[in-house]
Amino acid sequence: MRLPMEGNHVKTKEAIDIIHRAFELGVNLMDTAVGYCNQESEITIGKALKGWRDKIVVSTKNPYKGSDPNEWRALLDQSLRRLDADYIDIYNFHSFKLEEFQRWEKLAHSPIDEIKEAKEGGLIKHIGFSCHDTPANMIKLLDTGVFESMILQYNLLNTTNKEVMAYAKAKGIGIMVMGPVGGGRLAAPSKALLEMIGKSVNSTAELALRFVLSNPNVSAALSGMNTLEMVEENVATASIETPLTLAERKQILEALEEKKKLADLYCTGCGYCMPCPNGVDIPRNFELMNHYRLYGLGNHAKRQYQRLAGRVVDGVPKPAWAAACQECGECEKKCPQNIEIRKQLKETNATLGS
């Protein structure tokens, strides 16, 4: 989803050169989707696969959420044409939720039936899904017996799905991790994160990728790359025979647990303070402040804070940053931790708004 772009279009030759270099270095999995790169990702990958198809595992996704299996199938046929392929190795329901599966189960013929037929017909080899649902709902989806693989989030800053991954491994279900570098958050240098490991690491991004790959329940990490330099660095990292020793991983997990405890002193993210009558996203502001204060991700935190300033709801500008606080105090009445929210929002704005 991060191929090099110029305006709204993929820079095709540059993208293919980058992909081919990845193939030459041993990368053997490409993950795409209908909407990536202004709907040009599948087309570009299809061109890059010429001469490589039998060596590469291709994963793509179907975003359809309706109830008509014919419309779902039309998107599968479209992906096959765009990829210029006879089959897709792993075909995923995109951003799937348990409630969607349960709704489809009630239909006489659903996209679930359609994907099974597509597999029987040889158009796809394996059925998967990408998911942002709750861990409990993810496990229920795994228990349906339909899926052979899944794509979920897991990184240094978010280990919420670690039990789901272990559960999937025990059932023989493959795990592809999206956002191993935190959607770019962990690409920036962070002394606080690098200090978690007791030996030299070249970059925060390297540490993040090695952390994900060191989890025995991870089958593959999906890292977006749009330059040859990124490919070279990521492949070098992934080629390290032992991503992290057990002792190093234990050290990092303990350090992360300590930082989580510190973060909870400021805000647990429970959301009881919401909604704010003035539109401030209080938990998100405090989360960004923790990224700055605890993880040393200053540039990332400041960029994301500015994005809160530009939030739009139903076409109307509705700034969600701490600067929009009117100090009404409604939030503090509802906070179970008795946090001085108004004071901390002022501190957040002074720190991240500079």
Q: Is the distance from CB of 202 to CB of 194 less than 8 angstroms?
A: no
Pairing of the two strands 57-62 and 316-317: unpaired
Whether residue 37 contacts residue 8, with contact meaning beta carbons closer than 8 Å, is answered with no
Q: Given this model, what pLDDT does residue 219 score? A: 96
pLDDT digits (tens, 9 = 90+) for 174-214: 999 998 987 777 777 778 888 877 666 778 888 899 999 99
Q: Are residues 194 and 46 in the same domain?
A: yes
How much is the pLDDT for 201? Answer: 76
Candidates 179, 157, 177; CA nearest to 224 is: 179
pTM: 0.83
What pLDDT score does 196 carry? 77
Residue span of the structural domain in which 291 resides: 267-352
Examine the domain organization and report whether 197 and 73 are in the same domain: yes
Q: Is residue 261 part of a domain?
A: no
Residue at 258 is within a domain: no
Identify the pLDDT of residue 235.
Answer: 95
Both 328 and 293 in one domain: the answer is yes
The reported pLDDT for the residue numbered 102 is: 97
- Per-residue pLDDT tens over the stretch 20-44: 999 999 999 999 999 999 999 999 9
Residues 97 and 140 in one domain: yes
Residue 185 lies in a domain: yes
- All residue ranges of the chain with pLDDT < 50 are none
pLDDT at res. 354:
79
Same domain as 305, residue 167? no
**How many structural domains is the chain composed of?**
2
Q: What is the pLDDT at residue 198?
A: 60
**Which residues are CB-neighbours of 338 under 8 A, at least 6 positions away?**
332
